[in-house]
Amino acid sequence: MKTNNLILQTATKVLVFIILLFSVYMFFAGHYEPGGGFIGGLMASGAIVLLLIAYDIKTVRKILPFNFIKVTATGLLFSAGTSAGALFFDKPLLTHWFTYVHPPLLGKMSLHTAVLFDTGVFLVVVGVTMTIIQTIGESE
Amino acid sequence: MEILMAFLIGIIFMSATYLMLSKSLLRIIVGTGLLSHGVHLLLLTMGGLKTGAAPLLGQHAEAYTDPLPQALILTAIVISFGITALFLVVAYRSYQELGTDNMELMRGKEGNE
Amino acid sequence: MNSLITLPLLIPFFTAIILIFFAKNIPVQRWIATIGSVLTIIAAISLATTVYTNGIQTMNLSNWEAPFGITLVSDMLSALLVVTTSLIAFVCLLYSFKSIGKEREKYYYYPVFFFLILGVNGAFTTGDIFNMFVFFEVMLMASYVLLVLGGMKIQLRETIKYLLVNVISSALFVIAVGYLYSIVGTLNMAHISVRLHELGQSGIVTVIAVLFLIVFGIKGAIFPLYFWLPGSYYAPPAPVMALFGALLTKVGVYSITRTYTLFFTQDVGYTHELLEILSIITIVIGVIGAIAYSDVKKIIIYNIIVAVGVILFGVATLTTEALTGSIFYLIHDMIIKAALFLLIGIMIKIAGSSNLKDMGGLIHRYPGLAWTYFIAALTLGGIPPLSGFMGKVLIVRSGFEAGNYWGAGIVLLSSLFVLFSVMKIFINGFWGEAREYSQKEKQPVKWLLTAPVILTICAVLYGLGTEAIYPIISTAAETLSNPEIYIKAVLKE
């Protein structure tokens, strides 16, 4: 069955990038304001699901040739590695570290290990959500 | 406000119980989702509803809202998200395998004699 | 600052993550799993020795001071349980190599296995009541997957029931934590204990105590809440069954022990009386089930319920001696239940059926299996030099001292019936005429047998070395009966 959803497909081509960009914004906004890895990850997987609806599972697999379970594992490795890394500095588990840097033009910025942890969360959420959706969607 | 929430939570629990007692597997899953929503609301109410400013340094407010229940709810939401997803997949698989989503028909003899 | 306490959690966690990357390469997976498991045992044992020599170990995660952040606490009881868990995990892993099947190994059996160990070790180690919920969920999530992995009809059906029961009990857990938080305003277990004792006896505390009993009772399978257990534990293959039987219910029992010694000691007349009555009925129900069935799996599964009752009877008595007995029995039961499940797994594999009527005469061709089973059965029954004895003696004696003649009498009598139920398997399964399967080729069981043999040797040593182990266990019981030790170690007052 092939339905003609030209409008959806054309709109998706633009929308996916906007949503993905917004998810990245959300991810970094989480440092000081509402947002963060979890919500960003959900939004990113929302974008991929939109792709899935507009096209089909094969096309999406061609666009994003990842094994999403491995994406999840990579995310876990990021998060667990960041939290366990504190042990090497003789600090309790999950202790984070931050500093401020002053690169030219951009002004004062903070560097925080929590971003790495959140990257892990982002990847885990994308990986898990996509695995679930693929598992249910695939068998049809 | 807390009284109102108590009634609301009660109604949610009631509906969740009703749904979970039905035969259709899908309704049961919706019921568990509803149950966890009720639990999250209860947790929020138990911590005391809005009593002050956001708990951030440098706010200089007289009173602060307790951030802990919200953190707990966030954790609980993530967990129930995962469990609901797993439950749906298991339900779907068992619908394929057993050919029914009716709990009554799903009963089997194996291991129950 | 000692990071040793985190290792029994971090090692399984990292092993699980690494295993996901090698999901399709079975030999590599096996090696990584073995190494991870051995490292966990080493970490757990060194943690236990540190706790024994230096006292309770704590770690405040993220460097937040004790009552505010999440605290990991390892006292003697949790350290011992972590050691036992790691040992059982290692043995079940060995058994899985030859029995679980390629399909399951490819579909993330080993990673999920290690997530289960992470959850169990975490639940034993954490000192924060909400964090305990989180570790419970990690453990349960892994157990759902292990239960359903393989996708046979019975597994799917039982998983749905098991999932539903546990989703409801998790919801109740969060509700109970919410109520508790609303009256004490803290989640740190030591701090909760302090606040509850300041509060004194009040009705709401008793309500929360009973709510916690319901939550942990569903996980630990005590009397009115055990209904899901015989069905769900029946479905998965032997190594998973051994893990579930040895670990999952014991996490519930541990949680009851912890909360009923640390939190709810104000209204002992009500809460502990209730626990005592329920535990006695649990024993009776378990014994009836164990005797009534002629299915080997069911017999051992009902024996889990009996053991839960015996341990909780000791906890309900709440004297140092009774608690020592309970801890003795808890560890003994974890080891020997795992061994028995693995042994009947081999029997079922040989006979092709779990019904005793289809078995018989196994001793002729499999003498090693038969005699290992015999020793394990005697150990379970608590025959004197073996390991079940000491725990039961202490529990029964303190029961009599507390004037609870009925309860202690039933505990005593139950061991006779337990022995009868497992001997029934021995007599009908190993003695007598051999059945059709004896025509078939002899199954290679040597590798499979090493796993339960290791556990049985551990159980026997645990029994013979009672004299040496006693001081360790009494340290654990000392901490349970004097919550001040625990509180001081955590809050550093």
Question: Please, which pLDDT band fits residue B113 given cuts at 50, 70 and 90?
Answer: very low
DSSP assignment of A47-114 equals HHHHHHHHS-HHHHHHHS---HHHHHHHHHHHHHHHHHHHHHTT--TT---EEEE--TTT--EEEEHH
Q: Is residue A97 part of a domain?
A: yes
- Across the interface, whether the CB atoms of A128 and B78 are under 8 A apart is answered no
C338: nearest Cα among C245, C250, C265: C245
- Across the interface, whether the CB atoms of B82 and C154 are under 8 A apart is answered no
pLDDT tens-digit map of A42-63: 999 999 999 988 888 888 888 8
> Which residue, among B9, B72, B78, B104, would best test binding to C if mutated, counting the most C CBs under 10 Å from its CB?
B72
β-bridge pairing A98-101 and A109-112: antiparallel
pLDDT score of C376 = 93
Domain extent, residue B13, equals 2-49+66-103
How many domains are there within chain C? 1
**Which chain A residue's Cα is nearest to B93?**
A136
Cβ-contact B80, B36 below 8 angstroms? yes
B64 lies within 8 A of chain A by CB? no
In the structure encoding, which two tokens stand for residue C181, read together?
Answer: 């938080």
The C-alpha of A49 sits at a distance from chain B's nearest C-alpha, in angstroms, of: 15
Q: What are the residues of chain A with a beta carbon less than 8 Å away from any beta carbon of chain C?
A: 69-70, 72-73, 76-77, 80, 84, 87, 90-96
**Which chain B residue's Cα is nearest to A130?**
B85
pLDDT tens-digit map of B90-105: 998 888 888 888 888 8
How many domains are there within chain A? 1
CATH of the domain at B29: 1.10.287
β-bridge pairing A109-112 and C57-60: unpaired
Domain extent, residue A127, equals 6-138
Phi, psi dihedrals of residue C60, rounded to the nearest 5° = -90, 110
pLDDT tens-digit map of C131-165: 999 999 999 999 999 999 988 888 898 899 999 99
Helices C109-125, C7-21: axis angle to 10 degrees equals 160
Q: Is residue B108 part of a domain?
A: no
Chain A residues with CB-CB distance to B88 below 8 A:
132, 136
H-type helices in chain B, by residue range? 2-20, 25-46, 68-98, 103-106
How many domains are there within chain B? 1
Q: Is residue B56 part of a domain?
A: no
pLDDT score of B64 = 80
Instruction: Please tell me which of the candidates B28, B79, B82 has its beta carbon nearest to residue C164.
Output: B28
What parts of chain C have a pLDDT lower than 70? 1, 436-441, 493
- What subunits make at least 3 CB pairs under 8 angstroms with A? B, C
Which segments within C97-203 are labelled E, that is strand?
Answer: none
ipTM of the complex: 0.94
The C-alpha of B113 sits at a distance from chain A's nearest C-alpha, in angstroms, of: 33
- Across the interface, whether the CB atoms of B78 and A38 are under 8 A apart is answered yes
pLDDT score of C169 = 94
- Across the interface, whether the CB atoms of A96 and C62 are under 8 A apart is answered yes
Chain C residues with CB-CB distance to A93 below 8 A:
3, 6, 10, 59, 61-62, 72
Chain B residues with CB-CB distance to A118 below 8 A:
none
Domain extent, residue C275, equals 3-491
Q: Is residue A1 part of a domain?
A: no
Helices B68-98, C153-184: axis angle to 10 degrees equals 170
User: Is the pLDDT score of A35 beyond 70?
Assistant: yes
CA distances from C7 to A89, A95, C54, C246, C304 (A): 15, 16, 17, 22, 29
Q: Is residue B54 part of a domain?
A: no
Q: Is residue B58 part of a domain?
A: no
Cβ-contact C66, C492 below 8 angstroms? yes
- Across the interface, whether the CB atoms of A91 and C63 are under 8 A apart is answered yes
In the structure encoding, which two tokens stand for residue A59, read together?
Answer: 């096309």
Count of A–B CB contacts within 8 Å? 11
Cβ neighbours for C430, distance < 8 A, ≥ 6 positions apart: C360, C361, C362, C363, C370, C373, C374
User: Is the pLDDT score of A140 beyond 80?
Assistant: no
